[in-house]
Structure 1
Amino acid sequence: MKFSKQFSLYESEATSFLKSLKTANPKLEQSQRDGRALLWDKAPVDLETQKNNLESRVPQQAYVYQNKG
């Protein structure tokens, strides 16, 4: 399906806003990547550490807010 030239020149308000935001703040994209790396991109955990973490886990009771008494 081919669109006419009228539709190929269309730019939404969101797209124009993002373009103007990026031109006003050129370091924005790099700071977004740094934030993503800080929160989501984690270093891989080796198998021995993962095994130790699973073995040292303490089972949790079914309802954590109720005291055993």
Structure 2
Amino acid sequence: MKLTKQHQLYESDHTLFIKALKAKNPAIEQGQQEGRARLWDKAPLSLDEQQRQLASAVKQQAYVYQNKV
């Protein structure tokens, strides 16, 4: 489906806001990349470390809000 020239030039209010924010503060993208690296980009665990974590995990009861009486 080919869009008309008018639709190709359209940018939403959200896109314009993000572009203006990044133009005001160019360090935002660097901060985003550092935050992602800190939270998500982890080094892979060795097999021994994986087995240690599995062995040390505490089994959770089926319904966590019910106390055992």
- The unaligned stretches of length 5 or more in structure 1 are none
Higher gyration radius (CA): 1
Per-residue deviation, 1:41: 1.4
Per-residue deviation, 1:58: 4.0
How many residue pairs get aligned? The number is: 68
Q: Which amino acid aligns with 1:3?
A: L
Is 1:55 equivalent to 2:55 in the alignment? yes
Alignment correspondent of 1:13: 13
- The unaligned stretches of length 5 or more in structure 2 are none
Per-residue deviation, 1:23: 0.6
Alignment correspondent of 1:28: 28
Name the CA distance, whole Å, in 2 between partners of 1:23 and 1:54: 46
Name the CA distance, whole Å, in 2 between partners of 1:61 and 1:5: 59
Per the normalisation by structure 1, the TM-score is 0.78
**How much identity, in percent, do the aligned residues show?**
54
Name the CA distance, whole Å, in 1 between partners of 2:63 and 2:16: 51
Q: Provide runs of 4+ in structure 1 moved above 6 Å.
A: none
Name the CA distance, whole Å, in 1 between partners of 2:57 and 2:42: 21
RMSD, aligned α-carbons: 1.9
